[in-house]
Amino acid sequence: MEALAQRLSQLDPHSEGAIRVVAFYDTLMRRRVDLPALARASAGLGECVAGIRLHGTGRSIRVAPDGRETTAPPAAASATAPITLDEEEIGTVWLERPGPSGPFDDVLLDRLALAAAAVVERYGPARTTMADPALVELAVSADCDEAARARALRLLGFAADLPVRVLAVRSRLPLDRVGALVCPAHPVKAALVAGVGVILAAAVAPEALPAGVRAGVAAAGPPDRSWREARTALRFTTARRPVVHHDDLGALALLADVPAEALRANPDVTAVARLARTPEEFETLEAYCATGSLRRAADALHLHHSTVARRLDHLGTSLGIPLGDPAGRTRARLALSAWHLLGEGRHPADSPDPG
């Protein structure tokens, strides 16, 4: 390395300094330093505040040139670089230089980003979110033997003695962003399998899902069973109920096992399909079935309860279902659920039917 630096410096005075920066970080990586040590070394080398942030954990490290983590309000970054691992951006490194950029800032940040990625990978599991779809499919496949499944989960970064939660997702947002939101502080992996988003996580916070994302959530258990349950729950999601937990479905989950031809042939489902051509009436029926109350449905629709009452009278006649009694409401709810299971109400951006 020193011989190469000497030869290059004879050609370009800038090259010797750049090669010294490269050699500096090569030495740090051989010593297997951690992220705080990387930040301290970078701040000392750059003679300004250096920072490292990992997207998956939200962790940030800012170190001053004296080697101490700084609590001063962050200044605008004078230069930044992404930390990339397995072709995914997992974080950012930056310098907070008060004056003009230094002559080697670009080289410093480039090597710092490479070193940070190596540290994350070494002391993993790596906090990357996107994963090899083949490994994810193996982990959730019903046809996989347990030894192969355990190996796939280990390669994905999940400990053998910890439960893995499974989500089935339809989303316009990239799956890595969705995964990072529902599991910001624990291992999480995402991939697209057979047109459906799969998120494997050590823990999940479904309430953190952003608007526009639909998700079926399974309880902790064997990944193959959880994946089956998550896909079933996903089929019951609607615009009003974008997140469904399989445990909350109860006996309603049995509808998912009914052949599609039988669902389509049912008169109540046929009547709901006709009603769906009139969005205003269909929205009224959905609100009424979801809330179980005329007044709560009126609140949800921002209408006067007398208006909703008139609509429901008309709907009952159109459907041939007595919506005013409990048995009629149950029939309507089942017909709506069956209609959604058939995928008739899916948003154009949604994935293909996972069932």
* 71 and 181 housed in the same domain: no
| Residue-range definition of the domain harbouring residue 250 | 133-254
Longest dimension (CA), the chain: 92
Q: DSSP string covering 145-176, please?
A: -HHHHHHHHHHHT--TTS--EEEEEE-SS-HH
| Domain C-terminal end among 197, 219, 254 | 254
Q: Does residue 76 lie in a domain region?
A: yes
The count of other CB atoms within 10 Å of the CB of residue 228 is: 18
Which H/E stretch holds residue 93? strand 88-96
* Stretch 54-58: mean pLDDT: 67
Instruction: For the full predicted model, state whether its pTM sits above 0.75.
Output: no
Same domain, 245 and 324: no
Residues near 72 by Cβ (< 8 Å), separated by ≥ 6?
64
Among 254, 277, 297, the domain boundary falls at 254
The answer to whether residues 242 and 235 touch, using CB atoms and an 8 Å cutoff, is: no
In a domain, 169, yes or no: yes
Convert 14-42 to b/e letters by CB count within 10 Å (16 or more is b). Answer: ebbbbbbbbebbeebeeeebebebbbbbb
Q: Clarify whether residues 152 and 63 are in a common domain.
A: no
274 and 165 share a domain?
Answer: no
Average confidence score pLDDT of the chain:
83
Q: Tell me the pLDDT tens digit for each residue of 310-353.
A: 888 888 888 888 888 888 888 998 999 899 888 755 543 344 34
DSSP code for 31: T
The verdict on residue 350 lying in a domain is no
- The verdict on residue 267 lying in a domain is yes
pLDDT digit string, tens, across residues 113-165: 999 988 877 765 444 566 678 888 888 998 888 888 888 888 787 876 678 89
What Rg do the C-alpha atoms of the chain give, in angstroms?
A: 28
| Of the residues 254, 283, 301, the one at which a domain ends | 254
Cβ of 333: how many Cβ atoms within 10 Å? 17
Query: In the 8-state DSSP scheme, what is residue 193?
Result: E
231-272 residue pLDDT tens: 999 999 988 889 999 999 998 899 999 999 999 999 999 999
Residue 350 contacts by C-beta under 8 Å, 6 or more apart in sequence? Answer: 170, 214
Residue 352 forms part of a structural domain: no
CA dihedral of residues 39, 44, 49, 52 (deg, nearest 10)? -10
In a domain, 198, yes or no: yes
Q: Are residues 242 and 274 in the same domain?
A: no
285 and 183 housed in the same domain = no
Confirm whether 9 is domain-assigned: yes
Residues 64 and 113 in one domain: yes
Distance CA 164, CA 199 (A): 10
Judgement on whether residues 30 and 8 belong to the same structural domain of the protein: yes
Give the residues across from 52 on adjacent strands. 61, 93
Does 184 fall in a domain? yes
173 and 192 inside one domain: yes
- Looking at the 3D structure of the chain, how many domains does it have? 3
Can you tell me whether residue 347 is helix, strand or coil?
coil
Confidence of residue 58 (pLDDT cuts 50, 70, 90): low
Contacts 24+ apart (CB under 8 A), 61-70: 61/35, 61/36, 62/96, 63/36, 63/39, 67/40, 67/43, 69/36
Calpha distance 129→188 (Å, rounded): 6
The CATH number of the domain holding residue 331 is: 1.10.10.2840
In whole angstroms, give the CA distance from residue 59 to residue 61.
7
Residues 61 and 87 in one domain: yes
- Here the CATH number for the domain that contains residue 78 is 3.30.450
Question: Which tokens in the block code for residue 6?
Answer: 């000497």
The answer on 137 and 107 residing in a single domain is no
Q: What does the pLDDT average to over 37-51? A: 93
Q: How many helices (H) and strands (E) does the chain have?
A: 15, 9
What is the pLDDT at residue 50?
95
- The model's confidence at residue 75, banded by pLDDT at 50, 70 and 90, is confident
Q: Are residues 19 and 33 in the same domain?
A: yes
